[in-house]
A and B are shown apart, each in its own frame.
Chain A
Amino acid sequence: MSDPRDHDQPDDSEEEEDFNPAPADASDDEGNGAGDNDEDVESSPRQTRKASPARNDAADDEDEEGEGDEDDVAGNDDDEDEEEEDDEEDEEIQGHRRKRARRKDKRSAFFELEAEVDDEDEDEEDEDDAEHEGFIEHTEAGEAEQFAREDDARHRELDRRREMENDMDLEQEAERLKKQYGNKRSARGMGESAVVPQRLLLPSVDDPSIWGVRCKEGKEREVVFSIMQRIQQKQGTKDELGITAAFERGGPNSVMKGLIYVEAQRQTDILQALEGMLNVYPRTKLLLVDIKEMPDLLRVQKTPTLEPGAWVRLRRPPKHSGDLAQVIDITDNGLEARVKFIPRLDYGLRDDALAATTIDGKRKRPMGPGPKPPQKLFSEVEARKRHPRYITGNPQTNNWQYNGDEFEKGFQVKDIKIQHLTIKDVNPTLEEVTKFASGGEDGVENIDLKSLAASLKDSTINVTYLPGDVVEVYDGEQKGVVGKATNVQGDIVTMEVVSGDLAGQTIEVPTKGLRKRFRPGDHVKVIGGSKYREEVGMVVKISEDRVTLLTDQTNTEITVFSKDLREASDIGGQGSLGQYEMTDLVQLDPTTVGCIVKIDRESMVILDQNGDKRHVMPSQIANKLPRRKLAVAADRNGAEIRPDDVVKEYGGMSRQGKIVHIHRTYVFCHTNATNENAGIFVSKVSNVATISAKGGRINAAANSADLSTMNPAAKRPEAKNNMGPPKQMFGRDRLIGQTVTIKKGGYKGLLGRVKDTTDTHARIELHTKSKIISVAKTDVVVRDSVSGNVIKNYDSRKPGAFGMGRPGGDRAAPDWSNAGGRTPMASAGAGGRTPAWKTPSAGGAGGRTPAWNRNGDGGRTPAWAAADGSRTVNPYDGNRTAYGGSGGRTPAWSSGSKTPAPDSFGHGSKTPGYGGSGSSDPWGSGSKTPYGAAPTPGASGGDSWGYTPGASGGSGAYDAPTPGAGLLGAPTPAAMNAPTPGAYSAPTPGAMNAPTPGGGWQSGWGADSAPTPAAAAPTPAASGFSYAVNAPTPGAWAAETPAAGPRYEDD
C-alpha cells in the first residue's frame, strides 16, 4: 500500500523531514518503484469505488495522527472528504503526482520532495558506491558499471524532466481544479463555514455514517486518543481499522459528554475498532447520527483558552474546591494545567486530636473530615514538626515535596485536569489575588495586574457599561481614546469620543479593551463583586485599573477596580443591612447595647456601651432599640441632656460630639473630629458636660415669630381654648356649708345644705327629709342661707366655671351680667360692653397668655419656666388664669371706685404710666409697662400685656385691641422679641410675686372684712399667681371668696 505515502509524503516533508516509510520503498529499484507507483495509481481508482477508501482513509488518518497528536479530529474528516475528491481526480487524470501538486500548491514542497527523492537516490548511489568501494576494487568492470550508472542517471534525469513538465502541467491542472472546487477547500474549516453555502458541504447518504458510542464521562478525549493510537498500530497491517474518523464533544458543560463519535461506513467497523478498548462501550446501543445533524455535531464552539498566568478556580481536589489558583503552565496535550494555589494543610494535626489541642493554635479544628484547613502558605517548619520524614526539598529554591505534594515558595503546585478547573467567570477578588502577591519574595506586592485584568475581563458578566459611562480604550488600535458610552450591545460598546483626533466621532469598541475612566474628585459608587459593594465615595487616587476612593459613610479609603465603579449621583450608599442602619442602637444581650458603626454586606461592627467594638451578624442582635427622642439624662453638672445636644467628655479624651443615643447611663455621641467608628463614641452620662443644648437653639428660634403661622399678638378668639386646665381647688370647697337648691332631677326644687363635695358632685343634705343625696354641682343653685336669694356667682366656684379660664360656654351669661363682667376690663371699661367684646378681652387676659406662650416658642411654657427659673407650666397658666379669673372676679374693681385700686397697685405698679392709665387695671401694674400712658408700638411691643390691659382697661386703650391695636402687639417681631423675655422674666416674679401675698392676699382679706374693691382688684392678678406658686394655701381662696361676696351684694 503505497497510496498513503503519496498523500503523506508532502505533509511529512512539510513538517519535518520525516520519511520513515519512504526509504523502505525508495530503496527498491527505481524502476520498480516507478512501476509500483503507476500500478498503484491505476489501482487506486478501483479501490476508491470499492471498499478500500475506508482503508485508505484509515491509513491516512493514522499517518496524520502520527504527525502530531494535536491534529484536529475534525480535520481527519475533512481530509477524508478531500481524499475522495482526489480519487475522482485520479480517475480523470493519470499520474499520482498531480494530486500531490495540487496539495502542495501553496507550499511548493513539491520541489523539495523532488530534491529529496533525488537525494535519496544519490544517497543510495553513495551507498552503492560505498559498497562498491568497500567490497570491490575500482576496476574496468567498475568503470563500465559506472558508465552504466551514468547512463542510467541520464535516463532518470530525462524521466525526471519529463515528469517535471508533466508536473507543471499538473500544476496548471491543479490550478484549474482549484478554481473549480476551490470553494470546498476554503470551506474546510468549519469556522469559515458561514461564508460558504453550506449545502454544498453537507454530507450525503453516500458518505460514511457517524455513530455515537457511549464512553465514560470525562474520558472522551482519552478514548479518541487511544483510537488514534490503535489506528496507528494497525496501519499497514491486515486488519486496519475501518473507521474514518473519531471525535468527541465532551467537556464539563457539554450535553454530548459521555459520548464519542465515530465515523465509519459500517457499524461493524466500529465494533471492530473499539474492541477491547478501555472506557468505551461499543456494545451498548450505538446512536446513529442523523445526516442532518452531522454538521451540527461539528459546529465549533470557542472554548476559553487557558494561558499561563490566568486565574482559575479549582474544582478538584475537593479540599480546594472554589479556591483561586493561577495557571503556571499547560501540558502539551492541553489536558492538564499546572496551577499554583495556596495550600490547605493541617500538617497532620488533624490526624491526632490531642496534638491539635496542645500544640499552639497554628492549626485548625482538631478532627473530623468536615472543615477544610484554612488557606495558608506552606511552612516547612510546620511540616517538619510532625512529618519530618515526608518532607524533602531544597531550602534554597524553597521548593518542597511534602506528602506527595509539591510546594514552591509556599504555594502548592499541582497538575490538574483542565476539566477540573473553572475557567470562566473566575472573578478573582483583589483580596484573593493579593494573597498570591504577598507570597512573592520579600513580601513585596507584585500582582500581575495584567493577567488579573485579563481574568476579570473574561468574566464579562461583571463588567457592565451603561450609556453615559466615561470609558477609555486601553487596548487595540484606538488605545487612549476617551469617550462616553452611548450604547451597549452585548460586548460591543458604542462610544462617542470626547477628546483627541477622533473627537465627536462615534466608534464601536469591544468591552475587552475598555475600562471606565474616572478622575480624582469624581463621586463614585462601588458596584459589582467587590466586598465594598454599595459604598459611595470620592475618588482620591487612580493608578491603572485601581481606584482609591474615600467613602462618604465612614471616611475611609478603599481601593477597587475601576470596572467595579460607577459614577454616583446619589449620596446614599451602604447604610443599612436589613432593618439595621448606621448608628442604630441595638440590644446585643440583656445587659449590653451597642451602636452600629459600620455595616458590611453581611455583618456589622457595633460599638458597645463599654466602648468595645464587636463584629456581629444581624442574627446576633437581640433587637433594635428605637431611637428615643425624648430620652433625658443629667450630665455631670446635673444639667439636662437630650439627644442632639452637644456634649463634651469631661476628662479622658475630651471628645465633643452630638448625642445620638442616650441609653440608661450611657450616651452615644457622634463627632466629626475622627473617622474611628464612624465618629461614634460612647461615654457615661456622668462624664459629659453640656456644651450646647438643643433647647437653646429653640429659644433662639423663638425669638422671631413664625410669619407663616398666626400672629400671636393678633390671636384672640381661640385663646380661651388655650387656657390651662382648670385651677385646682385648694383646700375646702366653698360650696360646702352653703344652702343650695337643686335645679334638676327628681329632687328638683328642694333646698338643702352642701355637706361635702367632689370635683363634680355635691352631697346635699336635704332640708325636707333627712337624706343626703349626691347631685352634680352644676345642678345646684346656691342661695343665701338667710335671704334665700340666688347667689349665682357660686357657679364660678364650680370646676366648670370657676373662672379658671374655662371656655365661655361654661361661664354662663348670667355670670357676666351678674358680676358685671368677670374681667376687670369688662367691668372697668364699660358696663355696656358686649359679651363679644368681653370675650375677646377676656381672652385677651386669660387667653392672651397662652398666645404669648405660643408666640414664644409654641409652648412658652418652657420659656416661661426658663425665664422664671423654676416656674412650671401649671403655675404659669395658673397665674394667667388667676389673672383673668380673679380679674374678672373683681367686680369690686368695676363697680367700686378705682381709687383704691391705684393704691393697692401703687406698690405693684411702679410705673408712672400706671397713674396715667390709672384705672386701666392691675395688668398695667403687672406688666409695669406704662401701657395706658403710651400705647405706642413700643409699649405694646413691650409686650402683649400692655396690649391686653389696653383692650380691657382704658377706654382710650380700648380702641387698641381693635385690629390696629392688635398690630401694636403684633407688628414687629423684633419689637416683640426683644422685650419679651425681659418683660416677662423681670416683672413676673417681681410684680406678681411681690404684690401677691402682700397686696393681693391681704387686701383680699381686707376686702373680706371691708369689701374694698381696691383690695379685691389687685389681688387676683397677683394672688392667683402667688397662690399658684408661692402660697397655694386654701387661705388664698378663702380670701377671694369674701371679696366676691360683697360683689354680689353690690350687684
Chain B
Amino acid sequence: MFFLYNLERRLTLHPSYFGKNMTELVTTKLMKDVEGTCTGSYYIISVMDSFTISEGRILPGSGLAEFTVGYRAVVWRPFKGETIDTVVVSVNQHGFFAEAGPLRIFVSAHLIPGEIKWDPNGTPPSFHDEETTIQVGTHVRVKIIGTRAEVGDLWAIGSIKEDYLGYFLPP
C-alpha cells in the first residue's frame, strides 16, 4: 500500500560546502540518499516535498554540520494479507517468484491451488491448469502471507490459493 509519509533524516555537510546554496545541496543529497531505498518495512519511492531543514549544527570533533531534514515521501509498504499484482520472474518446481516493483515474492507450490500443476516438461516450465499458465512473465495476483526484512531489502511469501487470486489479464 502506498502512503504519504512524513519522515525525518539527518544529513551532514562538510564545512567546505557551507554557503548560500547549502539548502540545495542538502535536499539533493537527501533525495540521492533515500529515494529507492528500503527501510526494513517499506520502500521509499519518492521524496515529495515540504522540506524543513533545521539549522545546521556543527558536530564537535569533525566540524561537519548536521541538518535534520523533515520531508514527505511516497512510501510503499507491503502488508501481510495484502493482495497485489505481480509479474512472474522465475518458476521452479517448488513454486514461483514474482516481482511487484522492488519486492520479490515467492509463491510456494503449497500455496498454489491443487489444480494448477507443475509441468516440468513445458517450454518454458510452468504451472498450469486447463485455462491458465503461469510462467515467466505471467501477470499474477498474489496475496502476501508473510514478509521478511533483509538488509536493505524486503522479501515476501505469497499465496494464490484463494478466490480471485492467480493469473489475470493485465489491464
Interface: A587 (CB within 8 A) = no
Interface: B12 (CB within 8 A) = yes
Residue of A nearest to B136 (CB): A673
Q: Which residues of B contact A244 (CB under 8 A)?
A: none
Q: How far is the CB of A967 from chain B (nearest CB, A)?
A: 5
Q: Which residues of A contact B92 (CB under 8 A)?
A: 674-675
Interface: A544 (CB within 8 A) = no
Interface: B86 (CB within 8 A) = no
A521 x B16 contact (CB < 8 A) = no
Within B31-77, which residues are at the interface with A (CB < 8 Å)?
32, 64
B80 x A675 contact (CB < 8 A) = no
Q: Contacting chain B: which of A81-89, A132-140, A142-150, A969-977?
A: A969-977
Bound complex: CA A557 to CA B110 (Å) = 10
Partner of B19, one of A550, A709, A967: A967
Residue of B nearest to A568 (CB): B148
B148 x A571 contact (CB < 8 A) = yes
Q: Contacting chain A: which of B22-30, B114-122, B126-134?
A: B22-30
Q: How far is the CB of A848 from chain B (nearest CB, A)?
A: 14
Q: How far is the CB of B148 from chain A (nearest CB, A)?
A: 6
A707 x B94 contact (CB < 8 A) = no
A970 x B94 contact (CB < 8 A) = no
Partner of B146, one of A539, A674, A706, A974: A539
Q: How far is the CB of B167 from chain A (nearest CB, A)?
A: 20
Interface: B90 (CB within 8 A) = yes
Q: How far is the CB of B138 from chain A (nearest CB, A)?
A: 16
Q: How far is the CB of B144 from chain A (nearest CB, A)?
A: 8
Report if A571-B150 is in contact (Cβ < 8 Å); known contacts: A541-B108, A708-B64, A973-B25: yes
B150 x A709 contact (CB < 8 A) = no
Bound complex: CA A714 to CA B25 (Å) = 15
Residue of B nearest to A522 (CB): B146
A540 x B24 contact (CB < 8 A) = no
Report if A974-B28 is in contact (Cβ < 8 Å); known contacts: A521-B80, A521-B145, A541-B111: yes
Interface: A711 (CB within 8 A) = yes
A520 x B25 contact (CB < 8 A) = no
Interface: A219 (CB within 8 A) = no
Q: How far is the CB of A511 from chain B (nearest CB, A)?
A: 27
Q: How far is the CB of A568 from chain B (nearest CB, A)?
A: 10
A555 x B90 contact (CB < 8 A) = no
B29 x A972 contact (CB < 8 A) = no
Q: Which residues of B contact A539 (CB under 8 A)?
A: 146
Bound complex: CA A706 to CA B11 (Å) = 11
Partner of B110, one of A521, A548, A708, A967: A548
A708 x B13 contact (CB < 8 A) = yes
Interface: B98 (CB within 8 A) = no
A707 x B106 contact (CB < 8 A) = no
A707 x B13 contact (CB < 8 A) = yes
Within A848-903, which residues are at the interface with B (CB < 8 Å)?
none
Within A659-682, which residues are at the interface with B (CB < 8 Å)?
672-675
Question: Which secondary structure characterizes the binding site on chain A?
Answer: loop
Interface: A715 (CB within 8 A) = yes
Interface size on A, residues (CB 8 A): 35
Interface: B142 (CB within 8 A) = no
Bound complex: CA A460 to CA B149 (Å) = 34
**Interface hub of B16, B24, B90 (most chain A Cβ within 10 A):** B16
B64 x A520 contact (CB < 8 A) = no
B148 x A552 contact (CB < 8 A) = yes
Interface: A704 (CB within 8 A) = yes
A538 x B12 contact (CB < 8 A) = no
Bound complex: CA A708 to CA B12 (Å) = 6
A521 x B14 contact (CB < 8 A) = no
Partner of A707, one of B29, B80, B111: B29
Q: Which residues of A contact B150 (CB under 8 A)?
A: 571
Bound complex: CA A890 to CA B93 (Å) = 75
Bound complex: CA A331 to CA B164 (Å) = 58
Q: Which residues of B contact A98 (CB under 8 A)?
A: none
Report if A541-B110 is in contact (Cβ < 8 Å); known contacts: A571-B150, A673-B90, A674-B92: yes
Q: Which residues of A contact B13 (CB under 8 A)?
A: 707-708
Q: Which residues of A contact B26 (CB under 8 A)?
A: 707
Q: How far is the CB of B46 from chain A (nearest CB, A)?
A: 18
**Interface hub of B14, B17, B21 (most chain A Cβ within 10 A):** B17
Interface: A710 (CB within 8 A) = yes
**Interface hub of B19, B26, B104 (most chain A Cβ within 10 A):** B19
Report if A550-B12 is in contact (Cβ < 8 Å); known contacts: A521-B157, A541-B111: no
Q: Which residues of B contact A523 (CB under 8 A)?
A: 146, 148
Partner of A557, one of B28, B104, B108: B108
A540 x B108 contact (CB < 8 A) = yes
Q: Which residues of A contact B108 (CB under 8 A)?
A: 540-541, 548, 550, 557
Interface flags for A940-976 (1: CB within 8 Å of B; 0: not) read 0000000000000000000000000011001111100
Q: How far is the CB of B147 from chain A (nearest CB, A)?
A: 8
Q: Which residues of A contact B21 (CB under 8 A)?
A: 967, 971-972
Interface: B135 (CB within 8 A) = no
Q: How far is the CB of B39 from chain A (nearest CB, A)?
A: 15
Bound complex: CA A12 to CA B53 (Å) = 99
Q: Which residues of A contact B147 (CB under 8 A)?
A: 521
Q: How far is the CB of A535 from chain B (nearest CB, A)?
A: 14
B159 x A520 contact (CB < 8 A) = yes
A540 x B111 contact (CB < 8 A) = yes
Bound complex: CA A709 to CA B19 (Å) = 15
Q: Which residues of A contact B19 (CB under 8 A)?
A: 967, 970-971
**Interface hub of A538, A673, A967 (most chain B Cβ within 10 A):** A538
Interface: A556 (CB within 8 A) = yes
B16 x A540 contact (CB < 8 A) = no
Q: Which residues of B contact A972 (CB under 8 A)?
A: 21, 24-25
Q: How far is the CB of A692 from chain B (nearest CB, A)?
A: 17
Q: Which residues of A contact B14 (CB under 8 A)?
A: 706-711
Q: Which residues of B contact A522 (CB under 8 A)?
A: 146
A540 x B110 contact (CB < 8 A) = yes
Within B144-170, which residues are at the interface with A (CB < 8 Å)?
144-150, 157, 159
Within A692-709, which residues are at the interface with B (CB < 8 Å)?
704, 706-709
Q: Which residues of A contact B24 (CB under 8 A)?
A: 972
Report if A715-B157 is in contact (Cβ < 8 Å); known contacts: A538-B148, A571-B150: no
Bound complex: CA A520 to CA B107 (Å) = 12
Interface flags for A503-527 (1: CB within 8 Å of B; 0: not) read 0000000000000000011110000
Q: Which residues of A contact B16 (CB under 8 A)?
A: 710-711, 714-715, 966, 970
Q: Which residues of B contact A521 (CB under 8 A)?
A: 80, 144-147, 157
B106 x A711 contact (CB < 8 A) = no
Residue of A nearest to B66 (CB): A708
Q: Which residues of A contact B144 (CB under 8 A)?
A: 521
Bound complex: CA A552 to CA B104 (Å) = 13
Residue of B nearest to A556 (CB): B94
Bound complex: CA A541 to CA B150 (Å) = 22
Residue of B nearest to A706 (CB): B14
Q: Which residues of A contact B89 (CB under 8 A)?
A: 673
Within B72-101, which residues are at the interface with A (CB < 8 Å)?
80, 89-90, 92, 94, 97
Bound complex: CA A538 to CA B17 (Å) = 47
A555 x B106 contact (CB < 8 A) = yes
Q: How far is the CB of B157 from chain A (nearest CB, A)?
A: 5
Bound complex: CA A735 to CA B104 (Å) = 70
Bound complex: CA A684 to CA B26 (Å) = 46
B157 x A538 contact (CB < 8 A) = yes
Q: Which residues of A contact B149 (CB under 8 A)?
A: 571
15 pairs, A vs B, C-beta closer than 8 Å: A520-B157, A521-B80, A521-B145, A540-B157, A550-B108, A550-B157, A557-B108, A571-B150, A675-B92, A707-B13, A707-B29, A708-B13, A709-B14, A970-B19, A971-B21
- A residues apposed to B, CB below 8 Å: 520-523, 538-541, 548, 550, 552, 555-557, 571, 672-675, 704, 706-711, 714-715, 966-967, 970-974
User: Top 4 closest A-B pairs, CB basis?
Assistant: A521-B146, A711-B16, A521-B145, A541-B110
Given A675-B92, A707-B14, A711-B14, 9 more A-B residue pairs with CB atoms under 8 Å apart are A538-B157, A540-B110, A541-B110, A556-B94, A672-B90, A707-B29, A714-B16, A967-B20, A973-B28
